[in-house]
Amino acid sequence: MKGYTVAIVGATGAVGQEIAAILAERDFPVSTLVPLASKRSAGRKIVFQGKEYSVQESLPSAFAGVDIAFFSAGTEVSRNLAPEAVKQGCVVIDNSNAFRMDPGVPLVVPEVNPQHLESHRGLIANPNCSTIQMVLVLKPLHDFKPIKRVIVSTYQAVSGTGLEAMEELTRQCKDILAGNQATAEVYPYQIAFNILPHIDVFDETGYTLEEWKMVRETKKIMDDEAIAVSATTVRVPVYRGHSEAVNIETEGKITPAQAREILSRAPGVKVIDEPEELQYPLPVMAAGRDEVFVGRIREDFTINNGLNLWVVADNLRKGAALNAVQIAETLVAKELV
């Protein structure tokens, strides 16, 4: 199999490190790795598949000869550097929000809409972590009976913010348990033993950007602007693994038994739904796993065609790094790179 020169922008961050680990774990055909990061991280050493590589500064010149570049360094870096990488013949898989709603950029979850990759022009967007796990569950149900409306409340881990947030949660827990005052630097308020109904910035509607991401991205990925989506996104003191309470209304009735059967056959989804045995998805169960877990599947008795579901996934894996690597694997399989 052909080998590829692969760059990771943000190689020293939480998602960048996860991408490298998953590339190695899944034996992606990397002939040369080009780890890129900020100027202050340049010169650091990382080991990939037994070889040591030096981290380079993320500059346009670094993409010469690169076949595939994973971007995981934030929106501003992507906006500035991704187009430069594409100009040099590199296929960019971007994990930021920079290009997701650009009509010329495919927004892809490989199990849901791989056909959208065929129209790529060098730039592909990786969806938001909370959107990815939700659409993986929604799409097979939508194919059976079209979904009219979605109401979702999320419970999102601090790793979605980055390594600094994970360190802040640890520090605050230690301080509080020692009887000291917790200080907040990453978040506006203490996150330890607390929850924050606030992810990303608020706009004039009172919704946050994270909530609008779920609304808009769901419609684009599922190719259906008619789906009504309402989201409330919440940060919780969990290190790894996003959870979601999802309520759907469909055009025709889907019984809980039918939903379990449909989802048990869906790629990338694992049903754990035995409430009488206290079996349901948990973030600690999802951490380090590739699947999106779904349980608590039950009828919503307030409407004619409604279901409630509980959806959990590792936000650093399927919610970010794994989905990006799966996009690259699909590009290779379809000979689109």
- Annotated active-site positions, please? 129, 242
**CA distance to 156, 172, 222, 294, 310, per residue, from 252 (Å):** 31, 48, 18, 21, 21
- A 10 A CB-CB count for 257 gives 9
The tokens for 131 are: 């959107």
The tokens for 226 are: 């008619």
- 15-34 in b/e burial notation, b at 16+ Cβ within 10 A? bbbbbbbbbeeeebebeebb
- 104 three-state secondary structure: coil
Contact between residue 316 and residue 14 where contact means Cβ atoms under 8 Å apart = yes
- A 10 A CB-CB count for 285 gives 17
Strand partners, 153: 232, 245
- 99-125 in b/e burial notation, b at 16+ Cβ within 10 A? bbeeeebbbbbbbbbbebbeebebbbb
Q: Is the dihedral of CA 220, 74, 185, 161 positive or negative?
A: positive
The C-alpha atoms of residue 167 and residue 7 are separated, in whole angstroms, by 27
